[in-house]
Structure 1
Amino acid sequence: MAGAGASQLSPRWMPFLSLLAVLCFLATQGLAVKENDFKKCSQSGFCKRNRAYADNAIALGPSWQAPYKISSELASFKDGQFQATILKTIDEQGTTVRLPLTISFLKSGTARVTVDEQRRQEKDIELRHNSQIRKERYNEAEKWAIVGGLEVDTEAKVSHQSETGIKILYGPNLAFEADIKYEPYSIEFKRGGATHIKLNDRGLMNLEHWRPKIEKPTPEKKEGEEGQEENKDETPEPDPTEDESTWWEESFGGNTDTKPRGPESVALDITFFGYEHVYGIPGHTGPLSLKETRGGEGNYAEPYRLYNSDVFEYILDSPMTLYGAIPIIQAQRKDSTVGVFWLNGAETWIDITKAKETKNPLALGGTDNINTRTHWISETGQMDVFVFLGPTPHDITKNYAELTGTTAMPQEFSIAYHQCRWNYVSDDDVKEVDRKMDRYNIPYDVIWLDLEYTDDRRYFTWDSNMFKDPISMGKQLDNHGRKLVTLIDPHIKNVGGYQIADELKSKGLAVKNKDGKDFDGWCWPGSSHWIDAFNPAAVKWWSSLFNYDRFKGTMENTFIWNDMNEPSVFNGPEVTMPKDNIHYGNWEHRDLHNINGMTFHGATYQGLLSRKKGELRRPFVLTRSYFAGSQRFGAMWTGDNQASWEHLGAAFPMIISHGVSGFPFSGADVGGFFGNPEPELLTRWYQAGAFYPFFRAHAHIDSRRREPFLLTEPYRSIVTSALRLRYSLLPAWYTEFYHANQDGSPILRPLFWTHPSEEAGFGIDDQFFVGSTGLLVKPVVEKDKATADIYIPDDEVYYDYFTYKRLPTAKGKRLAVEAPLEAIPLLLRGGHIVPRRDTPRRSSQLMKYDDYTLVVAVGKDDKAEGELYADDGDSFDYEKGQYLHRVFKLEGSTLASTDAEGRNAKSLKEGEWLKRMRSVFVDKVVIVGAPPAWSSKTEAQVESEGKKFSVPLEYHQAGGGKTGFAILKRVGVRIGADWTADFS
């Protein structure tokens, strides 16, 4: 569904919105995103102040005196933690503010640096009418984002200590070092004796301390009168040279934000020494390798912004904020990866600049290196930074996953194809689409219902005129092995007689305004309240609403879509919630804005876990808004894109960026949400979407119907082929999701991740490998394009996936691959084995017990290896050992299958699914790159479970090349059994 920014409203839907809601809607929206509707740094007081602070420090150069130092007598190191007090000098008289510092060295090798501010006194806090604002800085981001990995490494030790600083060795084999300087305060993080990351490198750290609001003296008052004297240690007077205009309130777009706590931003500069490429901080629409933000040709003039917002029809190649925020950056140079995770849920801006550095000859052999300098600025909260020293991309993602969790193991249907639009208008409409997909033999797994299925925008209800029998609809889908997803948003229509709204208000579970009353804003239903999912009682209540006896009309094959959860508020500042709203615990919305969407996503996830007593099925919940840790609850998509070639091309850098930032289950609306794609564009988008981890077509209410069966030939057949390719490879995709679930690995892997030694690949973001499968893909994203130039990062052999033809060796070069409209540029890297299922079916549910095909791509060393992970794709029984995990290896002329974990099948108690898998076999093995000597062979010898037998072998030439491929037919070995095939 569109966010607040649907470009137009069809007249037939106007009666469903109140007049006021429509007027608000049309007054604030247009045909495309208006950049002026969203703040730039100069319009955000704390960003402007901190950028000015940085400009001043840089302009002063060596004469700049950073006002932060550690008091050595207040510093100590014990049991893996360094604790100290940073003293911030705030005036010429030497008045200081005390900032507690804790550096924790974790067993994973990650270092955590936290800077807080001493708790402020009760007498100094301003109380609002009916609401007390929390005195301390927001300190609950950890509660929502972090799930583990915080165990301190007590083996860390001091290597040097003096009055000026301390050096601490930590990490695996004590290979890492933190060099903490006391005055001015800074921390260098070293590996191999060289500095990789430095905090406060340029002295731009700025923590805006709490201060009382002091009214300007009137002419009648004389200096020294009562009320003017304050204890300097507790309530220092503000520096009169500072710009106070946005300290206590700030206006933008006709909205005024009151700030009872005054200015309290945190800012820190972090430098990556010798690193030219940095990635992460999604979501944004620019390239994977992040651009500089201080102007210059090809660069941005604005910092990257993280402030979850409903940015409809977003513009491309921009640092503007989008729907979600994951504040992690990783830096890459040849054979080395490092990163930082900035744990802060408030509005955040990040400046990025790059400069040549020659002052650190030890770092990289004394040559000129590019240093990437970042400047992080958040409106409120603690300064909380996790530092990762790698050294590989996999180390970064693994350590980040230990902290924030991994991708939830998905239901198998959820990684197949989803059919959606705003809106399928009735249950008959849904049934007819379902029938026509079958009539044209087009596979799909899920059909979606957007806003209009509800009774007048009341969630958990059905429009009784158009959806008269949702159970009958659900049963038809279930009989065809398909699922239904319905939209549930966080805004609750404020109208009498609506039970959900009545309960929300009576239980006191809504977000409050600054006066302590239920916040009322405008969204799709008109006047609305918002559930406060930071409140445990609200989560418990919300979860109960998904029970089958409460959300009547839903079944076990019904799942949920959370949209608009930034939150989107049509008449709010920047189309979102006022920052001075109050959440559970008396925290202001400004403190936790970027976390808000994740709490709602998590509450819905909990609801699907508990719909029925005794039913333990994996939830599927799609979200539009997200934060670090959202990957634990489901999938996300990139929001309201457009039906244009440019948006098709922009999708992969966005999806890849999310994957390397810990959220791999992501996708973009196939076909573009807004507009009407031409057949060529729609066809190419399906070919690209077949390689999105989350694969869904979606369209705006005013777009023409574009279900695949409506396409004319040859487009319909080409799209169907792309869908069938996705379905045949579902075993490989599911295996990659298993790895993402285990250690946070991205599913779409850019070249910097797979080939960290190949510097020429660090900036490439239009091609990728699918996990560890060896599948290298470069979908066509340009009009009338009939070739693809694929960069080959190594000297391994590559084959055309479809013809099995061996391609010319091209390490470090771009290989031209033919890509007419009916073709997807897809290569298979030698040395890999890919599992797939080749029997065409209409849904993944119907493939559940089909036999497998193994595609073996012989490497240059005559070896290959691959994996298959499988479970029932539905329950949590895999946590009890109910799964198959096989490793396949080809060495010379022998192919073998063994249990990946060395488990003894005889000792494993088989549940229903494992018992049924006993009748699932390896049907066929394709050996791509089989040597010519095999051309005379007619059979291979197979041994499994105490039996030996011969299997027919056919040899084929591959596209006239010097190599061929062999097919081992009707292998007949159980997929879960050990077996060998001998081709000698």
Structure 2
Amino acid sequence: MLKVNGWSSRWASLLLLCLAVCSLITPAVTVKHENFKTCDQSGFCKRNRAYADTALATSNWASPYSLDAASVKFEKGILTGIVSKKIATTGETVRLPLTVAFYESGTARVTIDEERRQKGDIELRHGSKAKKQRYNEAEKWAVVGGTSVSTGAAASKDAEAGTTKIVYGPASIFEAVIRHAPFGVDFKRDGETQIKFNDQGMLNMEHWRPKVDKPVAEKKEGEEDVAAEADAEDEGTWWDESFGGNTDSKPRGPEAVAMDITFPGYQHVYGVAEHAGPLSLKESRGGDGKYSEPYRLYNSDVFEYEMDSPMTLYGAIPFMQAQKKDSTVGVFWLNAAETWIDVTKSTTAANPLSFGIGSSVTTQTHWISETGLLDVFVFLGPKPQDVIGAYSELTGYTQLPQQFAIAYHQCRWNYVTDDDVKDVDRKFDRYNIPYDVIWLDIEYTEGKKYFTWDPMTFPDPLGMNKQLDEHERKLVAIIDPHIKNEANYPIVEELKSKDLAVHNKDDNIYEGWCWPGSSYWIDCFSPKGREWWKGLFRYDKFKGTAKNVFIWNDMNEPSVFNGPETTMPKDNLHHGHWEHRDLHNINGMTLVNATYEALLARDKSEDKHHVRPFVLTRSFYSGSQRLGAMWTGDNQAAWPHLEASIPMVLSMGVSGFPFAGADVGGFFGNPSKELLTRWYQAGAFYPFFRGHAHIDTRRREPYLAGEPYTQIITQALRLRYSLLPAWYTAFHEASVSGAPIVRPNYYVHPGDEKGFDIDDQLYLGSYGLLAKPVTKEGQEGQDIYLADKEKYFDYFDFWTYEGPGTVTVAAPLETIPLLMQGGHIFPRRDRPRRSSGLMRYDPFTLVVVLGHSGDAEGTLYLDDGESFDFEAGASIHRRFSFVGATSTLMSEDLAAAAAAAPSKKAKDYLKLMEKVRVEKIIIVNAPAAWKGKEEVEISEGLDGESAAARKVTLDWHPKEAGKAAWAVVRDPGVRIGGGWKIGFA
């Protein structure tokens, strides 16, 4: 949310905007590359890229790292040893402790530390200290499970000379072959190598060394400069580095870690979010259609970001997966420092005479981080859900949000008064447009002071919240991590007096500039800081908030207007005297973590019925998915940004953070009515669905679009609300398995190589709903790729298509290209309501889509949509299955174990849901044999209750030209949470 034309009543803020913001306003919206480093301008990246060039260009290159065979020990699933690094220029040997752990989940982990750094601190100026050891606390924030050490992992006796081999994983089908000299690791599945560490010899751990001030030799007149040794290291950025007028002191000297990771036989790699590029990552070493820069992970406030770029954005997830036919593998590079990743590919023919037939593509990646451990997790699949599931087990599953959070959110910078909010709320009702949440940006505060309300424009926030609550609607208010440095502001006085802010390199409180002007930053790495932050959200402290108020954490990269690369200096100090460079990419997650805990603790009277927190974040890291949602930042009201939003959201899903979306309509600029309409149609398929706009844009609430646009947008919104049961079930699946909520083609069809780079269409959950929103101006038809030989049906009129191959779907402005894949059953709620909360006891429609097999299956998950009572079994989880051979549709309990001994909360919830029924069953592609049959037989009591069989009417509709036959059972009289069977034959 970089806001470029904000206004403040304070002179300091005016000055700030002139210096830090006004210079950014340009006639054409474009990223300012000069504000952000390239690899060549980042010392450690440049050094390691040069190191890689040397390794690749030297025919007899030998990596200087070797594993001391005598040091190797393997016990109880963990291998340890010492890797030695020989320094050619000095003859010195650096000892690097190695740990390779094998977990019950089938995940392996390789960690390399530095022995000399393990104890002691480095004295800094003014007597302060910086940690000497490498940063080793990323695991504390990112890893929450999946690390039970394997009892079945075993050392193999048939290892080749010079190697150690460990077999592990399910049925011992995985192997780790550890090469001693040079050091490297090959990971195999079923005897075939899947991943190779240090295969190209690019492993490089910059070891600790004392700083030596070298005297500058005086050059006499006429003398030539003495040439440096050919193999001497470039020391120019070891101890300090300047960029954009800022100098970064480096008291610990050079300490980068780097290694090449090769995926032999894998052409496609995905992940390492967040970037504005295609889902299948491009090569990054230059050339036609390739990037010339590595992918960068360094959370930054990159306003006006450009398309198709490896530039860093707001978040960092160093998790990559590789895909080939019927095989998926992955790695997670656990490092919180600035990281660059090169991607290259090579092709190997099956034999010299094959002329490319049977050739194999291998992807090589080169990972470079500024500080920290070398700490890499390995996932050997073989399926996409195996890899993403194992990563999610490690870093945590997606939060199961409240139901309102997956409905539609209305936002702009800014709704200017509480009357403005109430007026927008009333107008949504007047135009019969559903929405659940309205948002407040920074202008609601008094002078940019968080936890306050402007008394002139928001005199009655509780009255505003009360009106919203009447229709089960919520308010989200922004709270950023920068705290205004102003006298008589109690929040900042406490922050200073309790010493809870981030410090500068001299170990004094750090002062920077952001929206309020002079600001301090809460240090949420500090337990005391988090505890203090938690207390600020109590209803009696943050007056004007109520139970329907939730929080937006923005600018948490952190964004610092006068800082290097618009963020905090790397030599700032956090709790424990860790430098900011060590933990930069985790910073945003620590704030969201503290805010999440604060929302849980804000009112002790709610202890017995805690509602699930909702927090939106811009900055994120691995593990942030446990805490809330993200959005893709400050996009533009332009067709390319709409187009890019789909691969960006898909990338977040396969990176383990599926609760993602983009600002509908574009943040900067004014969309045409066509673009706005098409964006709402696309946004209806984002897991996080929010309209948002910059303060300088024209108001664009859906009711202002005018006809036919308002009606078309309303139809898209109602489609989202109708499908909320399917969305909520997909969120539940993500919360227990890590599965993406919207899924790319390769995830659904991992054996279809033609679809591995498709990223402009998506599947919703496990329901076979395939959407391809229109993202180009004036387009009225859409080509959709069908990966399998299955029948697909248009969602709206049952027009029939069949794969494999590409089919063309008509897409006039009022139409969203949406197909239903045969073999699936999905739930809907079709009664239009003002908000999702008002749908709580509405009846359901089940849509049964029959394909070639004549069978179909689907699930439904329900709970109260707000509390944690589901953890005590207060939920409904049903499987619906249609068996073509017998023409029967059944509902069975997926939570039978919990139902056998239900808790009080479970009993109470089921009692509330007793009267919630199925009001309609639609069977698409209904068999022709049903023609003339006017009744179906219904049997209930399959969950143990007793009920008599009965018959109800069946309406059968014959095929039309190009369209499938379909049938409807109206009001079958069965409970959504009950066991029943319906016979159609």
Whether TM exceeds 0.5 here: the answer is: yes
Superposition deviation, residue 614 in structure 1: 4.2
Superposition deviation, residue 955 in structure 1: 1.0
* Equivalent in the alignment of 1:58: 56
* Equivalent in the alignment of 2:954: 953
2:515 to 524, 527, 540: 524
Unmatched 5+ stretches in structure 2: 219-228, 942-946
CA distance, structure 1, for counterparts of residue 765 and residue 9 of structure 2: 46
Superposition deviation, residue 96 in structure 1: 0.3
CA distance, structure 1, for counterparts of residue 595 and residue 900 of structure 2: 39
SS in 1 for 2:597: helix
Q: Any residues of structure 2 matched to 1:679-758 within 5 Å, and which?
A: 679-758=673-752
C-alpha contact (below 8 Å) 2:350/2:360 kept by paired residues: no
CA distance, structure 1, for counterparts of residue 46 and residue 336 of structure 2: 19
CA distance, structure 2, for counterparts of residue 446 and residue 584 of structure 1: 36
String of CA shifts for 1:2-61, please: whole Å, max 9, x gaps: 32xx3444xx65758623312322365233320111000000000000000111111102
Superposition deviation, residue 759 in structure 1: 0.3
* TM-score of the two chains, using structure 2 as the length reference: 0.95
CA distance, structure 2, for counterparts of residue 920 and residue 604 of structure 1: 35
Superposition deviation, residue 480 in structure 1: 1.2
String of CA shifts for 1:803-829, please: whole Å, max 9, x gaps: 12322x221x11000000000000000
SS in 2 for 1:849: coil
SS in 1 for 2:125: coil
1:943 to 925, 939, 942: 939
C-alpha contact (below 8 Å) 1:868/1:885 kept by paired residues: yes
C-alpha contact (below 8 Å) 1:635/1:694 kept by paired residues: yes
What one-letter code is carried by the residue in structure 2 that aligns with 1:714? P
1:83 to 80, 83, 87: 80
C-alpha contact (below 8 Å) 1:767/1:776 kept by paired residues: yes
Matching of residue 895 in structure 1 with residue 889 in structure 2: yes
CA distance, structure 1, for counterparts of residue 331 and residue 34 of structure 2: 31
* Equivalent in the alignment of 1:769: 763
String of CA shifts for 1:884-904, please: whole Å, max 9, x gaps: 000000002100101013347
Going from structure 1 to structure 2, the CA distance change for 1:28 and 1:73 (only over 3 Å counts) comes to: farther
C-alpha contact (below 8 Å) 2:121/2:130 kept by paired residues: no
C-alpha contact (below 8 Å) 1:427/1:470 kept by paired residues: yes
String of CA shifts for 1:358-405, please: whole Å, max 9, x gaps: 5899xxx99421010000000000000001110000000110011000
Q: Any residues of structure 2 matched to 1:246-285 within 5 Å, and which?
A: 246-285=237-276
1:20 to 15, 20, 25: 15
Superposition deviation, residue 913 in structure 1: 3.2
Going from structure 1 to structure 2, the CA distance change for 1:972 and 1:22 (only over 3 Å counts) comes to: same
* Equivalent in the alignment of 2:37: 39
CA distance, structure 2, for counterparts of residue 104 and residue 453 of structure 1: 51
C-alpha contact (below 8 Å) 2:177/2:187 kept by paired residues: yes
Going from structure 1 to structure 2, the CA distance change for 1:936 and 1:885 (only over 3 Å counts) comes to: same
String of CA shifts for 1:507-529, please: whole Å, max 9, x gaps: 11000000111100000000000
User: Aligned Cα RMSD in Å?
Assistant: 1.9
Superposition deviation, residue 963 in structure 1: 3.4
Q: Any residues of structure 2 matched to 1:279-428 within 5 Å, and which?
A: 279-358=270-349, 367-428=358-419
Q: Any residues of structure 2 matched to 1:476-515 within 5 Å, and which?
A: 476-515=467-506
C-alpha contact (below 8 Å) 2:774/2:811 kept by paired residues: yes
What one-letter code is carried by the residue in structure 2 that aligns with 1:715? Y
* Equivalent in the alignment of 2:973: 972
SS in 2 for 1:618: coil
SS in 2 for 1:853: strand
C-alpha contact (below 8 Å) 2:798/2:963 kept by paired residues: no
* More deviation, 52-61/414-423: 52-61
Aligned length: 958
Going from structure 1 to structure 2, the CA distance change for 1:219 and 1:299 (only over 3 Å counts) comes to: closer
What one-letter code is carried by the residue in structure 2 that aligns with 1:933? A
Identical counterparts, % of pairs: 61
Matching of residue 806 in structure 1 with residue 800 in structure 2: yes
Matching of residue 128 in structure 1 with residue 128 in structure 2: no
Matching of residue 924 in structure 1 with residue 924 in structure 2: no
String of CA shifts for 1:241-282, please: whole Å, max 9, x gaps: 111000000000000000000000000000000000000000
Unmatched 5+ stretches in structure 1: 221-237
SS in 2 for 1:534: coil
1:199 to 197, 200, 207: 197
Matching of residue 838 in structure 1 with residue 839 in structure 2: no
CA distance, structure 1, for counterparts of residue 773 and residue 249 of structure 2: 49
* TM-score of the two chains, using structure 1 as the length reference: 0.95
C-alpha contact (below 8 Å) 2:798/2:964 kept by paired residues: no
* Equivalent in the alignment of 2:224: none
C-alpha contact (below 8 Å) 2:617/2:630 kept by paired residues: yes
* Equivalent in the alignment of 2:221: none
Q: Any residues of structure 2 matched to 1:455-466 within 5 Å, and which?
A: 455-466=446-457
String of CA shifts for 1:735-760, please: whole Å, max 9, x gaps: 00000000110011111100000000
CA distance, structure 2, for counterparts of residue 370 and residue 123 of structure 1: 47
Matching of residue 859 in structure 1 with residue 860 in structure 2: no
String of CA shifts for 1:784-805, please: whole Å, max 9, x gaps: 0000100000011111111123
SS in 1 for 2:375: strand
C-alpha contact (below 8 Å) 1:931/1:963 kept by paired residues: no
C-alpha contact (below 8 Å) 1:804/1:958 kept by paired residues: no
String of CA shifts for 1:166-213, please: whole Å, max 9, x gaps: 111111111011111100001000112111100001000000000000
Superposition deviation, residue 93 in structure 1: 5.4
Q: Any residues of structure 2 matched to 1:657-668 within 5 Å, and which?
A: 657-668=651-662
Matching of residue 166 in structure 1 with residue 164 in structure 2: yes
CA distance, structure 1, for counterparts of residue 351 and residue 235 of structure 2: 40
C-alpha contact (below 8 Å) 1:897/1:980 kept by paired residues: yes
* Equivalent in the alignment of 2:633: 639
What one-letter code is carried by the residue in structure 2 that aligns with 1:249? D
What one-letter code is carried by the residue in structure 2 that aligns with 1:883? S
What one-letter code is carried by the residue in structure 1 that aligns with 2:243? F
* More deviation, 71-80/426-435: 71-80
CA distance, structure 2, for counterparts of residue 122 and residue 722 of structure 1: 59
What one-letter code is carried by the residue in structure 2 that aligns with 1:384? D
What one-letter code is carried by the residue in structure 1 that aligns with 2:102? F
String of CA shifts for 1:927-953, please: whole Å, max 9, x gaps: 011012212121211111312111111
C-alpha contact (below 8 Å) 2:409/2:689 kept by paired residues: yes
* Equivalent in the alignment of 2:223: none
Superposition deviation, residue 126 in structure 1: 4.0
What one-letter code is carried by the residue in structure 2 that aligns with 1:924? K
Matching of residue 655 in structure 1 with residue 649 in structure 2: yes
Matching of residue 213 in structure 1 with residue 205 in structure 2: no
What one-letter code is carried by the residue in structure 1 that aligns with 2:881? K
* Equivalent in the alignment of 2:114: 117
C-alpha contact (below 8 Å) 1:511/1:519 kept by paired residues: yes
